[in-house]
Chains A and B, each alone.
Chain A
């Protein structure tokens, strides 16, 4: 039997374990771990102390009366991977990168490109862009500010821009990589980009900017580590309005004002705390209790609550949309690219599918009104100029189209069979798999169900599935359903950053740049006319580009390789005390964080 002494020992053990656990949990968190590989051979960045000779425009802060420290709290659900817009995983890398990193140029919510590190945006008119019509080539001269310093006091120069470009071009990729022949340094604050002859890069103004491209410090980053592996995007040196003070993984990040920031008197808010809060209901509660200032991308139901009630939180919505929910039909047989799909290969069927989707009802009932119908790829300024009429929701018309395509219900079970259809044997049942990706959440699932019900009404049977994005978009060799062509109808959202749709259209529809060349023409769509028009889009003549895009819009409307449905609004919950926040579909919410203020 158990002896009394044993219990005393066990009791003592319990007390020791309890104390040990408390000690373990109560160990104060360290700020910013050191990199796991060798430090660059430079001094450790000291954020507070600029070098002695650095020009600081403002009055010494000591003479100002001591003001109370201001801070805001931003809620995001995931830990960012790094401060690297090109190495993104959660979507929050760019948002947090904007707090501490600068680009050469950026774009505002209304689509206007503005200089950040640049002195001005080069154009043909101001002589910054030289276009040689004979060789069909262009050079772009950039002048950058001479008053920008890294948080360790080193001056930001052209060397940093060229260093970043070289690493990106070597290891990562942006559209400009394909066009850029060389970058020439003129002096510390001037450089010229030489593009290949025969190639025009219309989006040149955002070559070193936009939401993805940040400039990294040459003296601090170790290029040998590699762009995706280097430590300088985990423990970054700042050129932006804030400096990263602390990052406790899965818990929070703390940013403090960068005393070396080049814009005098900015940022107005001393500290930004980013709390990783995975559960959305908790995010909402924190917002409503006044313990947080920004709820990044709330769900529609919570957004509605913010908007409709007087609870100290506003719902701010970007002026334009970006991500378009779409049906992506596989025009070929699943697993056999050489054979046409029995019915999705027929444009009449695809048109019938589009007519059967009641976009307005879905937006109203599922997305609570936070979405806009979209039916063409060219719906964002400045290329929203094409006259493509909005398709009608018309179940009877859809049924008639299916009849015309040779699909009728002969056995009375409500599902159509092939009777003289062009790409299937008679008797083939009109049934397909209809997949969405799991990560989007419940709203997409509800939308999928509503769409499937509509399809059933016109005699199309669907098997609804929901799979992880990690499977849907994996490479073919890893079992990726789309890349391998093992799907029938998928639904997910896509969109392009910045202002220029060209590359996105190429990746999505251009046949000669299809899957083997890392494109995403997963529906296996072929149209040589479209390919030819896409080649025409590479010009600096904006008016001609609009014409080209309208030609492409007409072809896509005619062929319907993808069925565009709606764009959910880019919205954020923002506390009423926080001023100056402007959501943007072109950039993360934090694009103008230096201008934010707190209302007294």
Chain B
């Protein structure tokens, strides 16, 4: 197993390298650029504009920019005043040494920007995914056990609706109903807030935090619940028609034990793959949820960076995202081997 993990980790290195090259090229070759903000501004001297371009490293050829981004330039002489003569060493350490550079837009370290938003995203998305599990798994199980029952038909209908409803629209409708229409009968306040992570100017309260989570989590979970419950239903139906389930029944085990001890455990295994695919969302966030509920998370950071051509922020988010995808897939493969003895690491 250890050998397998080491091999996969070693394989991940060239893959990440290739991904980083591709991402760097795609981001930089897209039309437009970070200097647009200064291009439309009359408020900066042309020579200062050039100095900013130099300080961003945009005066160098793309391959050199990539090398600086990757391994830094604190080892290479640089020309800081643009007179064609190198006069000092650079200050960048490169992403391999944990330096993702400065945001072009805000002029602050990229990692600071990510650190401001990542906890908010992990907080929202982890709870969303956990609630998805808590809601979707029972629905999937009951739908499979009681196939074609009223419950199954209702769940099926609702899950199709859940998948079809545009997330953006759902969020607005939730606000319309639970913020603008329904009131808390005891306080007269809206039933749920329309956005934000907590009540401003109020003392810290865990109930307040949960109160602010209800609508964003609901918005984020609907399509996931629909998808996961359908998937589990299908997986469960596959399993309960297997020979070993028939054998368990033939040996006289009661139906409850057959379903929950033998069938369910095996039906859940494919969910590991799905979870591995969805795991990066915990870090990437959901742009629509963040936009509708004014949630200060990674989705908005990425979106704003993309529109402003803030390359360092864009590249940091994309590269970290790519690494998480690779490692979550590795984690899924390892979990498979752990959960299913038929899978062998070779």
A residues neighboring B (CB under 8 Å): 1-2, 4, 6-7, 14, 17-18, 20-22, 24-29, 33, 36, 71, 78-79, 81-82, 86, 88-89, 171-175, 177, 212, 228-229, 234, 248-252, 254, 271, 273, 275-279, 281-282, 285-286, 288-289, 291, 439, 468-471, 473-475, 478-480, 483, 503, 507, 517-518, 520
Contact = CB atoms under 8 A, between A and B. Distances in A.
A228 B107 contact: yes
13 contacts: A1-B341, A36-B112, A71-B201, A174-B43, A249-B113, A249-B296, A251-B196, A252-B200, A470-B36, A474-B35, A475-B35, A479-B32, A480-B36
Contacts of A271: 201
Contact of A475 (B36, B120, B338): B36
B296 A282 contact: no
Contact of B294 (A81, A175, A277, A288): A277
A79 B106 CA distance: 10
A473 B36 contact: yes
Contact of A479 (B33, B113, B120, B290): B33
B119 A483 contact: no
Contact of A470 (B41, B194, B308, B339): B308
A469 B49 CA distance: 19
Interface majority SS (helix, strand, loop, mixed), chain B = helix
B108 interface: yes
A165 to B, nearest CB: 14
B35 A478 contact: yes
Interface string B32-54: 11011101111111101100100
A562 to B, nearest CB: 16
A78 B201 CA distance: 21
B133 interface: yes
A20 B196 CA distance: 20
B238 interface: no
A250 B301 contact: yes
B255 interface: no
A2 B46 contact: no
A254 B196 CA distance: 14
Contacts of A291: 194
Which of A88, A251, A483 has most B Cβ within 10 Å?
A: A251
B134 to A, nearest CB: 9
B175 A478 contact: no
Nearest to A26: B209
B300 interface: yes
| Interface size classification for chain B | 35 or more
A503 B45 CA distance: 15
Contacts of B93: none
A285 B194 contact: yes
A492 to B, nearest CB: 10
A89 B308 contact: yes
Contacts of B265: 1-2, 4, 6-7
A82 B289 CA distance: 26
Contacts of B190: 289
Interface in B1-50: 31-33, 35-37, 39-46, 48-49
A228 B200 CA distance: 31
Contacts of A21: 122-123, 126-127, 130
Contacts of A229: 107
A81 B261 CA distance: 56
Contact of A4 (B107, B261, B294): B261
A517 B204 CA distance: 55
A36 B103 CA distance: 13
A175 B296 CA distance: 37
A475 B33 contact: yes
B200 A254 contact: yes
Contacts of B194: 282, 285-286, 289, 291
Given A21-B122, A275-B196, 16 more contacts: A6-B338, A25-B124, A26-B209, A33-B112, A36-B108, A88-B41, A89-B308, A171-B45, A277-B195, A282-B294, A289-B180, A289-B190, A468-B32, A470-B309, A517-B46, A518-B49
A4 B113 CA distance: 43
Contacts of B127: 18, 21-22, 25
